[in-house]
Amino acid sequence: MKHIAVIGAGTMGNGIAHTFAQSGFTVKLIDISEKSLEKGMATIASNLDRMVTKGTITEDDKHKTIGNIITYTDIKDGVVGCDLVVEAATENVGLKMNIFKQLSDVCDHNVILASNTSSISITQIAAQVVHPERVIGMHFMNPVPIMKLVEIIRGYSTSDEVTKIIMDLSVKLGKTPTEVNDYPGFVANRILMPMINESIETLYNGVAGVEEIDTVMKLGMAHPMGPLQLADFIGLDVCLSILNVMYDGFKNPKYAPCPLLVNMVMAGKLGVKSGEGFYDYSESKKAEKVSKQFS
């Protein structure tokens, strides 16, 4: 397996492309937006520059990594000759279904199709594909070049052979693959998102403020960042989408998103990417200033 296609040049997609390219794979980064591709490549170059400065890689490593990535705006052209396609589009069921229908039409039947979905059923995605046994979840963590975990999700039809190939491939990327079964939220978000949602409920109910909630979790539970800061980093729209998937999947009220989260997403307060969430990022990308709404 040498040729990889990555669909989506956003935060996760460019991170996945970066990781494969740095490991010596030829990567085709696909996005319908030329602007998104340019932004994604700029992010990869910036992250590589940071690694050069830290001495993690050399300048030559940086150039080789960038040279391993080719960009495309058309899926059909981008997947030609690829052994694996990793879909990393927005966490939207309809969008992902449409992408996998296209992949089923344009890819050879021996090409493995993986989704970076953080909550959507791999079995549901695989139902759009001829030979669903080749569909698997490959849930990377953000930031992809740094985080070691890859959550490997087996759909109902995913074969043992495909699972082993993807587990072994993840190890070659320097990651630690962990196999889980296909239920809403898998393991990572089934545990993480209720914690984030309860933190938002705690704020919503006036138990404590933003900084106080995050401080308790950082200093009391040894979390590297507080849950509200983490929600901003993930994106409040993504958190809401994952909670809705779990609520729809389990029909259990404990997964119902907090009304405050719903309102913030509707108001466009999405966290770091919009410049404001629970914290204000207008002057710094670090969570140093609580949003005016909560201060």
Binding-site positions for NAD(+): 8-13, 31, 91, 96, 118, 142, 273
87 is catalytic: no
Question: Phi-psi category of 174—alpha, beta or left, where left has phi over 0 and alpha has psi -120 to 50?
Answer: left
For tokens 């914690």, the residue is: 195
189 is catalytic: yes
118 is catalytic: yes
Please give the backbone phi and psi of residue 272, each rounded to the nearest 5 degrees, phi first.
-55, -45
Active-site residue identified among 139, 157, 211, 276: 139
For tokens 């989506």, the residue is: 8
Which tokens in the block code for residue 66?
């960038």
Measure the CA angle with vertex 15, ends 56 and 284; round to 5°.
Answer: 80
**C-alpha to C-alpha distance for 125 and 117, rounded to whole angstroms:** 10
- CB-CB neighbours of 10 under 10 Å: 17
Of 211, 217, 225, give the one whose Cα is nearest residue 289.
Answer: 211
**C-alpha to C-alpha distance for 8 and 50, rounded to whole angstroms:** 23
**C-alpha to C-alpha distance for 139 and 86, rounded to whole angstroms:** 10
Q: What is the dihedral of CA 87, 90, 91, 95, to 10 degrees?
A: -80
Active-site residue identified among 189, 197, 241, 291: 189
**C-alpha to C-alpha distance for 103 and 87, rounded to whole angstroms:** 10
Active-site residue identified among 118, 241, 244, 291: 118
Q: Would the CA dihedral through 287, 220, 246, 161 be positive or negative? A: positive
92 is catalytic: no
| Edge-to-edge strands, sheet with 3-7 | 69-72, 26-30, 3-7, 84-87, 112-115, 135-140, 149-154, 176-181
**C-alpha to C-alpha distance for 295 and 137, rounded to whole angstroms:** 40
Q: Would you name the residues annotated as active-site residues?
A: 118, 139, 151, 189
